[in-house]
Amino acid sequence: MPSFPGVGYEEEIRKIQESLEALREREPSDAAWKTVQLARHKDRPQTLDYIKHTFPDFLELHGDRLRGDDPAIVGGMATMDGGTVMVIGHQKGHDLRERQQRNFGMPRPEGYRKAQRLVRLAERFSMPVVTLVDTPGAFPGADAEEGGQAGAIATSLRAFAELTVPTIAVVIGEGGSGGALALALCDRVFMLENAIYSVITPEGCAAILWRDSAEAPQAADALCLTAIDLLRLGVVDSVIPEPRKGAHKSHRATAKVVARQIEAALRELQSIHPLQRQAERRQKFLQMGRFTAV
């Protein structure tokens, strides 16, 4: 900008620059929102992709023995490190057709009851349980409510709390609220670098607190939902690094790192007495929360 002596533009420019700086400081970083988008990336590896790369002999088991089989939750047995493990995970689907068939990874009560049935089976035959968490949340639909969605999540939490076999959860994409936690009350909880885990979706939070779901990027920042945030808050045990530019760039490489982490944790957990392991898991969740006292 040309400056003319005596006109005083410099002063104006300096003021504008200062207020811009101030604005920038007040504006939250969009790093959290970028992570949300990566966590939801349509090409990001999902439960069945991890199974393909890590558990070639996976045998899927179906049905909740009550009324149905929920395609939003996949579960079955597979071999890992010489023994059988029970693998359970949310499956969102990659293309539109699969996404619709799997209800976008939003389970109904049947899904949570299938998971409970499978972990009880695992307990009976001393199989460690590995869960892969990736859901926007439990399905908010009339039929799900009528089938007892809340109760199904609650009993799932109790089923996981009661297990004496080793349990490991990996948040691989979107850890959406109670619908995610229902599979994640585990001895070890890991999170991929670009995964998120939150009490509510950023859109839902923005709609309630900002009264505008377009404020989701701000809500994402406020909610502290990234892997590093959760590590800092003591909710996850470690963060699994992803390939450069994200897990969707290489399913195979990501699955390899995840498998290595699960195997290491399994070996460590198997050295602990089952009842001790159960007690430590309970203790860990009992200690969660921050408060003060007067």
The residue whose two tokens read 């009264």 is: 211
Smallest gap, in angstroms, from Cβ of residue 189 to another protein? 10
Smallest gap, in angstroms, from Cβ of residue 286 to another protein? 6
Which residues form the interface with another protein (CB under 8 A)? Answer: 138, 140-142, 144-151, 153-155, 157-158, 161-162, 177-178, 181-182, 185, 197-200, 204-205, 208-210, 218-219, 222-225, 229-230, 233, 235, 282, 285-286, 288-294
Q: How far apart are CA 274 and CA 278, in angstroms?
A: 6
Smallest gap, in angstroms, from Cβ of residue 1 to another protein? 36
Token readout for 43 is: 């090409």
Say whether 57 sits in a helix, a strand or coil: coil
Residues near 168 by Cβ (< 8 Å), separated by ≥ 6?
Answer: 128, 129, 130, 131, 186, 187, 188, 189, 190, 262, 265, 266, 269
Q: Are 203 and 215 in contact (CB under 8 A)?
A: no
Pairing of strands 59-60, 73-80: antiparallel
Smallest gap, in angstroms, from Cβ of residue 234 to another protein? 9
| CB nearer to another protein: pick between 155 and 250 | 155
Q: Are 138 and 179 in contact (CB under 8 A)?
A: yes
Smallest gap, in angstroms, from Cβ of residue 14 to another protein? 29
Q: CA angle 70-205-173, nearest 5°?
A: 45
| CB nearer to another protein: pick between 48 and 205 | 205
Q: How far apart are CA 168 and CA 273, in angstroms?
A: 16
| CB nearer to another protein: pick between 85 and 225 | 225
The residues with which 188 forms a beta bridge, in sequence order, are 168
Smallest gap, in angstroms, from Cβ of residue 81 to another protein? 26
Most distant CA pair in the chain: distance in Å? 87
| CB nearer to another protein: pick between 111 and 147 | 147
| CB nearer to another protein: pick between 271 and 287 | 287
Smallest gap, in angstroms, from Cβ of residue 73 to another protein? 16
| CB nearer to another protein: pick between 271 and 283 | 283
The residues with which 131 forms a beta bridge, in sequence order, are 88, 169
| CB nearer to another protein: pick between 163 and 255 | 163
Q: Are 196 and 221 in contact (CB under 8 A)?
A: no
